[in-house]
Amino acid sequence: MKKVFFIAAFALCGAAVQAQSIESGSHSTAGYIKSDGTIENSSHSTVGYIKSDGTIENKSHSTIGYIKSDGTIENSSHSTVGYVKRDGTVENSSHSTIGYVKDNGTVESSSHSTIGYASGVKKEWAAVAFFFIKL
């Protein structure tokens, strides 16, 4: 379940008319999201969906998490796992800074090392992909 959530969350980080790609720190493509909310892995296989209300679903349409409008990130049980501030600062559930999502889409660790890229992607989606989902 964690692996499916990771792939879905990692790929759901784009929200433009065309599919947006999510890249690792070495610029390899990790996934995509299409304008209709369909989430694909790097091979373009559907792994999940993002709904307009922030609900994240796996490919079987089971709910696996939530992105709240205030930047709160929750798991499927509605337990808070972290927060994304308007300025892109990412915090864990204890409000300790764990990283940053810059306006240009660069994703950084808490020590400001670049760990990935999510250009044209909502900060909350990028934060979920890079900080809250672990394989």
Which of the two residues, 15 and 54, has the higher pLDDT score?
A: 54
Categorize the per-residue pLDDT at 121 as very low, low, confident or very high, splitting at 50, 70 and 90. Answer: confident
Residues 6+ apart with CB under 8 A from 92: 81, 82, 98, 131
C-alpha–C-alpha distance, residues 42 and 4, integer Å: 13
Mean pLDDT of the chain: 81
pLDDT digits (tens, 9 = 90+) for 61-97: 999 899 899 999 999 999 998 999 999 999 999 999 9
- Find, among 3, 24, 22, the residue nearest to 14 by Cα: 22
- pLDDT (0 to 100) of residue 35: 66
Q: Is the dihedral of CA 11, 65, 68, 96 positive or negative?
A: negative
- pLDDT (0 to 100) of residue 108: 96
- pLDDT (0 to 100) of residue 133: 55
Which of the two residues, 108 and 120, has the higher pLDDT score?
A: 108
Task: Kindly tell me if the per-residue pLDDT of 59 is higher than 50.
Answer: yes
Categorize the per-residue pLDDT at 107 as very low, low, confident or very high, splitting at 50, 70 and 90. Answer: very high
CB 65 within 8 A of CB 58: no
pLDDT digits (tens, 9 = 90+) for 19-38: 688 888 899 998 776 667 67
